Structure 1
């Protein structure tokens, strides 16, 4: 697809005979927000795990800007510019908010990395900027474990923001947010996309999907059933029936 930054072709994965992902094709186009939509168990998170190298596909290819990345280790893929969030957030609970964000700058955050004080100041400046953009500056010294639920969500987003990744893969980033926090999240994501970030998000809140997404890829039982503009996908009665678990004919 013209403008495709990430290309997935024929991606498949089985777990003990269960076909979790079945020959999925998908493109993430530069500067476009794509939403992965489908019922629970559709394979959405598994697709993220395959793209990021957390699990190995049985078949298919993944390319980043024309470079094959299938088989690369997760940290290598992250350094190439693909950042992701997890449903369970995976924060360092006993570390401060600031140090959680600094840790996302690995490998440049380690003490023995070159650059000395100048590089350390640059890392800290990036970290403080990410905290300010996510509204966490006043909590920089607090432990992650002491944050509210919404604050942990924004901390997870700050860890992605600080990496300056070109692609964000967000797994239910707005789930459980109160209306005010949800509005902040939507504004922040729109700001990032306007700055050139390409986003793919898994989201069950269809209001957020329609507000943010330029395209929807609809998955069910590991297959991509449809892809297109949100208005067209969300008015398809068969797809909506699958999404809400209505009995199939």
Structure 2
């Protein structure tokens, strides 16, 4: 049974619209990522997944609709404010500081959290150290902690970015193609970590093209095409839906026994 504690929160989109030059990249999307569950967002390239993610994270403001975090309307709040309220994200394009060490990249997440909690009262360095060490250990990065991030392969940098997000102890985590560039061992560790986070009450929303990983991890799937949700529900049912097959331009993805 998933344990939902006081630091959990639900992320909700209600009628979110985002237009570019008169074209609706996101056309009235409703979505809910509840605590203690892994929710996946799938669809072909150009479906509007990344734009919706940006609206949820606060890097793009929707033209209509609302975004709620733990019941609070955050539609007009900046991305850094949402971070301090417990929302963290990773990016499709890896965003790390190559000249900093792996540990210092991860520490940035801890610093953001504590800066928001202790404004005007100085830094809590010991707490930042503890959160950094915890995130490094969770992703198996301790032995690389002192090495420059720029020397690491893509798979490791994916884990560094995730560790940085987790160092801020988020309540809701948005993951944009988290398995891209990971090898089999790293993907297995990622799956284990994400499931563990959900079991401890975190709300996770991921965009992922690896259908096998979605089938293994996700409790609920939203499938998008042309800026709209064309199917949503339990993972196996959505992946077998004919509308999803049409959106992908072929047969429905095969779902194993996971």
Match of residue 32 from structure 1: 37
Q: How much does 1:130 deviate? A: 0.9
Deviation at 1:61, TM superposition (A): 0.7
TM-score (norm 1): 0.92
Runs of 5+ unmatched residues, structure 2: 1-7, 252-258
| Counterpart among 144, 147, 152 of residue 139 in structure 1 | 144
- The 8 Å contact of residues 82 and 165 in structure 1, kept in 2 or not, is answered as yes
Question: What pairs up with 1:90-129 in 2 under 5 angstroms?
Answer: 90-107=95-112, 108=114, 114-115=121-122, 119-129=124-134
SS in 1 for 2:16: strand
- Which of 74, 78, 84 does residue 83 from structure 2 map onto? 78
Partner SS, residue 105 of structure 1: helix
Q: What is the SS of the residue equivalent to 1:95?
A: coil
Gaps of 5+ in 1: none
Q: Which residue of 2 aligns with 1:178?
A: 183
Matched, 1:221 2:221: no
Q: In the alignment, which residue of structure 1 is the partner of 2:197?
A: 192
Q: Partners of 1:64 and 1:242 in 2: how far apart?
A: 29
* Runs of 4+, deviation exceeding 2 Å: 105-110, 112-116
Give the match's secondary structure for 2:10: strand
Q: Is the 8 A contact 1:4 1:27 kept in 2?
A: no
Q: Does 1:148 align with 2:147?
A: no
CA contact (8 A) 1:95 1:144 kept: yes
Q: TM-score w.r.t. structure 2 length?
A: 0.89
- Whether the aligned pair in 2 keeps the contact of 1:103 and 1:109 (CA below 8 Å) is no
CA deviation after TM superposition for structure 1 residue 24, in Å: 0.5
- Give 1:115 shift: 4.8
1:53 paired residue among 58, 80, 87? 58
Partner of residue 18, structure 2? 13
Instruction: Say whether the 8 Å CA contact 1:216–1:230 is kept in structure 2.
Output: yes
| CA deviation vs aligned residue, 1:168-198 (integer Å, no higher than 9, x gap) | 0000000121111111110111111111111
Measure how far apart 1:113 and its partner are: 5.8
**Contact 1:10/1:59 (<8 A) preserved:** yes
| Cα distance, 1:70–1:109 mapped onto 2, change above 3 Å | closer
Q: Deviations over 1:190-245 (max 9, x none)?
A: 111111111000000110001000000010010011110011111112312322x2
